[in-house]
A and B are shown apart, each in its own frame.
Chain A
Amino acid sequence: MGKNNQNIHFVVGLGSCGIAAGAKDLYEELASKIKNNSNASLSHTSCNGMCFKEPILEVFYPDGNRLMLGNIHKKDLDKVLEPLLNQKSVDEKFVVENSRQPDKKEKFQQKQHKIVLENCGIIDPDNIVPYLERGGYKAVKKALGTMSAEQVVDEIKASGLRGRGGAGFSTGTKWQLARNNKAEKKYMICNADEGDPGAFMDRAVLESDPHKVIEGLIIGGYAIGANYGYFYVRAEYPLAIKRLKLAISQATEKNLLGDNILKSNFSFHLKIKEGAGAFVCGEETALIASIEGDRGQPRLRPPFPAASGLWGYPTNINNVETLASIPWIINNGSATYASYGTPKSKGTKVFSLAGKIARGGLVEVDMGIPLREIIYTIGGGTSSGKSFKAVQLGGPSGGCIPESLLDTPVDYESIAATGAIMGSGGMVVMDDDTCIVDVAKFFLAFTQKESCGKCTFCRIGTTRLLEILEKITAGRGDMSDLEALEDLSGKVKDLSLCGLGKTAPNPIITTLKYFKDEYEEHIKDKKCRAGVCKDLIDFSVIEKECTDATCATKTVL
């Protein structure tokens, strides 16, 4: 972190979330306030996962003590800077952690186990040195220097790591398939087209620890025999792209990328491709079409990309979180990794916790932990204090899980048994103020808009499903609509080519399964108990209490 031990060192978290909460203003103000103070220094890191505490300021004292302040804004600096510089206490409302009070631990950190996120919010992501100091690129050295490519594949297979992008296919097996296909050229691609609304772990990892993902990609390239790699990153993540570009140039300078990496026989060249805003490009054949400069439409598999991918060459595509797990597995051994989690879902998984949750942010836990512990123990329950209604898992391909199933362990099979999917790990918590029919409508509006239009049932089926939901939420539904929803959902699932269409009906299927009474209320009673569906709400002014003639329109909006 470039800390001088004689100094009081300040660190501000500058991830996208932090910046949105005001961390950049805080950083600049602090920089100007301490610029003439030779006893104080300042640097930045990215995201430590505690989004609900942003902006976050950490203070490191020469005596080794450390203080973490949260929800601290530029305007608060006048109050806290003097005491901080003089090692005096500050207003407790800002203090998240204090090494002098070891029992004052942030509840959000309970039950967490950080492998993928081990450096996030700790290192300066714009600098390669802190990453190297924390053991960075040791896994590349170990793999290239002491292991054969086959051994690397076997190690990843033995770790039990499964694709963290959602599908959950064995990463080692995927590598093996790509390795087995002999060709003059092969490609290794990192899928950073994190399109699920509600999931932001890939953005956070790329912004906070870009070198870790690059390291995973190099090892993957070595394992399958690919000398060329791509990052396919969403255009909506400009900060991630900027940090990644910088990290690639730093790694190239140190000969961790390029020809004959670390004097080995292995060469690996890495490029960034920016996406242009199409959810379907998260699907691997659509992603390949997009890199090739085409409209991002999926094609039939087989042939799988492992046999014929980018420009027709064998190609392997892994998600950001999957690749970020690789260096740890190589360094610590597959057996250690496999000792975490459940028999079928090994290791840890990162979830992004958002919606009506008291402590929202990024959470990394061992696979198999019950949903309830993530939502209540770590997340602190609903932010509103109202009753928990459902948690939406897996984005538009996923489903809503009710309170009665909160003891479900988070592993691929158990989550799938509820009708939802693990997906990339987005968890959006909903309380009594959320209308479940409206949520289903929201997701269908999303998939309908994002359907690439190739398959009839995805293109037109999602449109018809959306129309039915619009009719119900407008109070014009009848009971036969529910049958139509079920029937058409099944057809869209069966008759679509790619994952987008195959999973698009999931939000409807799960909400109909667990919350049918809410649909029936909308249809029979013309009532939306959450007060969300505007057409089903009657507004009237309570004249006795009305003090502002315009307030009613403000509320109705």
Chain B
Amino acid sequence: MRFRDGVFLSILAVASSPVFGQTDDSGRALPVVTVRGAVPERFLAGQKSQRIDSVSLEQFRFQTLTELLSATTPIAFKVYGPGQLSTASFRGTSANHTALLWNGININQPTLGQTDFSTLPVAGFDQLSVQYGASSSCLGSDAVGGSVLLSDTPDWKQPGLTVTAAQQFGSFQNRNSQIGLRFSSRQSNRWQVAGKTFFYTYRFPNRYPYRERGHYFVEQSNTDQKGFIQDFYFRNDKNHRISLNLWFTDNDLIVSPFDTVVRERTRSQSRRALATYEFKRLTIRAGWIRDVIDFARGNFNRPSHSETDRYIGRAEHEFSRNGGKWELTVRSGVEFSHYQTRVDGYHDSPIGEDRADLFLLSRLQTDRWRFSLNVRQAFVSRFDPPPAPSVGAEYLLLRQNRHSLTGKISLGRSYRVPTLNERYWKDLGNPNLRPENGFNAEAGLSGESSLGDRLKISGELTGFRNRIDDWSYWNPEFGYRVENLQLVVARGIEWSANLQYVHQKWKAGITPGYAYTRSSQERVYNTYAQDIVGKQLAFVPLHSARISVYAALGSTRLTVWHQAVSRRYTTFDNIQYLKGYQLTNLILETQLTTGIMKTRIQGQVNNLFDTLYLNVKRNAMPGRNFAVNLIIHLNTRKS
């Protein structure tokens, strides 16, 4: 490949362009093919979904998914400390009810059935979208409260090479380094290749200058994070496409590092590899994921070890018919996966398990209507989850030059296959556990309006009700043995809006959002359960709101991120709670271009008002802190 001089692609310009290279291929030599594998939203008509824009991804590139999703979505995180365990509660559900997909594959830890979002840096993927509500019909197990979708995409449209080096200098001696390159060959008539190599290493020694804030301890911990990403893409004029994606992560957390007797180390390592072959309307995928967790206290040489390998094979076929005024798309697929797990805490080890899924997704689009009808049946060794159908519709209620309004409605069943720990853990696990099953209903309105040439406004209002039965529960009354005890009903309202103003070199925007989430346990299964029936689920705030405001002149931009969370109960009977809090972060950035080098400088203030707020362990989170980020791109691309 030849390096060429070129004008750098403005990051902000990329942000405002729709999506990297998935559309607008028409007129070029290679055939128009949409990337189908990782876009399940297409079949979830009537449900809320949200794409996180690339400006936000760039602003949070030194932070984790927890921080980004807290600032941009109503997902409530249960955080144990900075750089420590962080689990998601989506629409009033538990940490097990959010499916996390990486390029279409669920990467929740199979032993825990959840993801520690603190181990996933925003720099680890290209695109992020959030699917609200149950979507098991499309996404399988765990997609009960909602789903988080990470994906990588090639830069087909921007041939050339970009080398990126980025460094963060933060308070508390925290440092992040990233280095990588992206490339895409020129679009010849025959074939094209593209790819990405990326390495990051984060060191958070967290040397706070204080031990306490407002009489609450600030826990001492340090976290080291390393990651490696390798993506490779190939396509040719015969409609063959091949992609390879690798993502290795290594997260090393030590709590109380200075005390060699009581220090606790949690090391989580994951290796994820995925190969995809697409030909015309057929997609075949093969994947391997290894998740390793080592936990040790005091002596780190003898950790308690947990290791799971997953081998995944999936074949999908899509059929499409265009009848002029309507277009029907039907996608059918089959997935097999084999699990092999060795966990020190299990009775038997290793344990093998096979799972299979059959699914049929369909979508009908007309001028004003969009329908979807999907069904999935999963099969798991020793028991079978219920079938998961879903149906949804969207109707364009209003369509004018400058205004549009869409009504949405959807119904769907969801399920969650019990985790390996829930079934196989010594004594406390329960091999007879049933899969949980949920029923999600939601309806909403979304609209867009242009008020003149400079001002655009959009908004969405959604109401939902999600009923989850056989909710499995590590019963604290029963030595924390896991049982299908509870029935949880979550209902709520979500509102979000966006106002954008553009005038010459000026840009400004406001993005507010609010969520009301009422989630409660409804079954009386013994005498004392009466005290928890109807009570708000622990760590689910009733109200959460966020707003981001920015103003930009050219490539200089000031953004303020603000979030407010109401009190979070810490016990099932709501007798105790952590106080609500508001958190404000600020980021000022600018960009300098010299020749082929583009330098982006960001200054960041986190917790601007030095708010005292507590994590799950009742330790204070850090006060006001700062970071300076330097991102350098060397680019041979023409934009």
Do A and B belong to a common assembly? no
B-side residues, CB < 8 A to A, are none
